[in-house]
């Protein structure tokens, strides 16, 4: 079992390597006494949005955790092709409401990987945080406590924290669940803009509208790959009926 982060080299990459940001082979993963993912063979295309789709318990969050490097495969391999370590944005419910953090402090945590949690942020760090806040439209909320925010505002703060990491691979777990249409549209527009800026985006989602607007889709069922490819080819009526039932 292994997760490999390839650094840029002078040797030419194959066309498949150039097209894929992450590739995994015979991937199995899970938790002690509870296997979740079984023999997954797939890839995440570079400079595209990929939707991980499936019902609860299908393995979407576990796969994101493996891609983020916070869950180790039990067997198989994950290969990251030429890029920075991924930025992982968990479900907003995974972040405690009672944490005594302002929005700005939460976003500043995105700089810890590069700066360290105890070192003073540089002028560039502050500029990066300001840019992330403004891009999510929450600059005016910077001094508010994270626990005081609405669901949409809090989700935008967590995504801003991910942006502050300046990674070329952004992983999001259910970024639009429970949000109103305006908030969903804002986040969808942001993700499209990020891809145009050179970021590869992967989101686990129950939102079929969001999944259908992605560039690629991995359809999961019971920890196994039920389909992969363009959403129009994968998210067919018959395929969805097999996954979720009538």
Paired tokens of 161: 């924290």
Paired tokens of 203: 């989101």
CB atoms within 10 A of CB 123: 7
pTM of the model: 0.88
Residues linked to residue 221 through DSSP beta bridges, in sequence order: 224
Q: What share of the chain is helix, strand, coil (3-state, %, to 5)?
A: 40, 25, 35
What pLDDT score does 246 carry?
A: 56
Q: Where are the alpha helices (DSSP H) in 136-180?
A: 151-164
Contact between 176 and 205 under an 8 Å Cβ cutoff? The reply is yes
Question: Which residue is it, tokens 């299908």?
Answer: 58
Residue pLDDT, tens place only, 124-140 = 999 999 999 999 999 99
Contact between 74 and 30 under an 8 Å Cβ cutoff? The reply is yes
Residue pLDDT, tens place only, 191-240 = 999 999 999 999 999 889 999 999 999 999 999 999 999 999 999 999 99
What pLDDT score does 92 carry?
A: 63
Task: List the domain boundaries for the chain.
Answer: 94-166
């Amino acid at each position: 079992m292994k997760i490999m982060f390839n650094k840029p080299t002078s040797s030419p990459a194959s066309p498949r390597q150039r097209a894929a940001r992450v590739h995994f082979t015979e991937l199995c993963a899970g938790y002690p006494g509870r296997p979740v993912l079984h023999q997954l063979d797939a890839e995440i295309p570079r400079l595209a949005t990929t939707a991980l789709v499936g019902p609860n318990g299908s393995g979407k969050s576990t796969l994101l955790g493996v891609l983020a490097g916070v869950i180790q495969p039990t067997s198989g391999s994950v290969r990251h092709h030429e890029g920075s370590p991924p930025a992982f944005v968990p479900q907003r419910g995974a972040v405690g409401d009672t944490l005594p953090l302002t929005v700005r402090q939460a976003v500043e945590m995105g700089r810890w990987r590069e700066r360290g949690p105890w070192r003073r942020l540089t002028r560039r760090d502050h500029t990066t945080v300001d840019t992330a806040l403004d891009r999510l439209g929450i600059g005016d909320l910077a001094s508010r406590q994270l626990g005081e925010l609405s669901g949409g505002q809090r989700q935008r703060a967590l995504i801003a924290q991910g942006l502050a990491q300046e990674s070329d691979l952004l992983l999001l777990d259910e970024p639009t669940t429970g949000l109103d249409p305006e908030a969903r549209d804002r986040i969808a527009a942001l993700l499209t803009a990020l891809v145009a800026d050179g970021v590869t985006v992967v989101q686990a989602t129950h939102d079929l509208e969001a999944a259908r607007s992605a560039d690629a889709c991995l359809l999961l069922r019971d920890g196994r790959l039920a389909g992969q490819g363009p959403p129009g080819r994968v998210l067919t009526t018959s395929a969805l009926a097999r996954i979720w039932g009538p």
